[in-house]
């Protein structure tokens, strides 16, 4: 995958098992649409440190559109102690379209845990998480299927999902009780070019559709359309430096 301006910077630290990876990104975006024209520009930095079964990862971004913004999208410690996995920090494990930013999904603070069932069950993982705001998630996943529910805060909110890949196609489809249906897909018809689509449908409240063409992993041209709660559209062009 070609990188236009930057690439992964990998720095071995004091021990061979310990390393630091840095991934900077720069974004320039122009929007034209029924609600006016707008530009977005920003930078992000993703850092990853691994040591044996432990991984420390973070991603922060600064950008300007209507006003300057800065955010830590993710920042967590991931401990893989088979068959257990524990993640502490801000993670985009159960994100939804409202968490979307110009540089990806924003996670939620919490403590995440999972247990991978041994054979002969196999491919079954039980999950539990305590999230900021006194919310609890309980569920499980098998293969590309996941099912669970959020408890506390806003009450009982079920969530279902399916993810998968077939040759050059990949994507995910989800339903969450308070957000409706949402999903995305990607068809890579060459090593550098891809067609992407997304939608968000919360019956009676929201209907958003998006289509984008990605060229050379650095240029994206797209169209977004809103049918609910308001009718609107925008055409956009993104230029990435990675």
Confidence at residue 36, expressed as pLDDT on a 0 to 100 scale: 80
Instruction: Count CB-CB contacts under 10 A for residue 142.
Output: 13
CA–CA distances in Å: residue 202 to residues 9, 153, 205, 225: 41, 20, 5, 15
- Cα–Cα dist 239/77, whole Å: 31
Confidence at residue 5, expressed as pLDDT on a 0 to 100 scale: 42
Residue 129 near residue 136, CB atoms below 8 Å: yes
Task: Identify the structural domains of the chain with CATH numbers, from first to last.
Answer: 9-241 (2.40.160.10)
How would you write the pLDDT of the chain (242 residues) with one tens digit per residue?
A: 334 444 455 555 555 567 789 999 999 999 999 888 889 999 999 999 998 899 999 999 999 988 999 999 999 999 999 999 999 999 999 999 999 999 999 999 999 999 998 876 668 999 999 999 899 999 999 989 999 999 987 789 999 999 999 999 999 999 999 999 999 999 998 888 999 999 999 999 999 999 999 998 899 999 999 999 989 999 999 999 98
Tokens at residue 193, please? 């070019």
Tokens at residue 215, please? 């060229």
Long-range CB pairs of 203-210, under 8 A, 24+ apart, other chains included? 204/228, 205/180, 205/229, 206/180, 208/97
Which uninterrupted H or E stretch holds 68? strand 68-81
């Amino acid at each position: 995958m070609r990188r236009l301006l930057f690439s992964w910077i990998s720095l071995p630290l004091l021990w061979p098992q310990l390393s630091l990876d840095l991934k900077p990104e720069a974004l320039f975006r122009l929007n034209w649409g029924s609600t006016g024209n707008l530009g977005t520009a920003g930078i992000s930095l993703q850092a990853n440190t691994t040591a044996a079964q432990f991984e420390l990862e973070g991603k922060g971004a600064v950008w300007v559109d209507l006003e300057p913004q800065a955010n830590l999208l993710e920042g967590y410690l991931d401990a893989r102690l088979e068959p257990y996995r524990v993640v502490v920090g801000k993670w985009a494990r159960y994100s939804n379209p409202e968490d979307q930013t110009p540089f990806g999904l924003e996670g939620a603070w919490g403590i995440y845990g999972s247990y991978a069932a041994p054979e002969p069950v196999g491919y079954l993982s039980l999950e539990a998480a305590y999230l900021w705001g006194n919310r609890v998630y309980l569920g499980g996943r098998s293969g590309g299927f996941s099912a669970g529910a959020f408890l506390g805060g806003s009450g009982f909110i079920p969530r279902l999902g399916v993810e998968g890949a077939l040759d050059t196609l990949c994507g995910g489809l989800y339903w969450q009780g308070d957000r409706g249906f949402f999903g995305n897909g990607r068809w890579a018809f060459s090593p550098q070019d891809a067609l992407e689509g997304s939608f968000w449908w919360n019956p009676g409240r929201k209907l958003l559709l998006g289509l984008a063409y990605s060229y050379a992993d650095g240029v994206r041209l797209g169209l977004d359309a809103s049918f609910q709660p308001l009718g609107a559209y925008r055409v956009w062009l993104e230029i990435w430096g990675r």
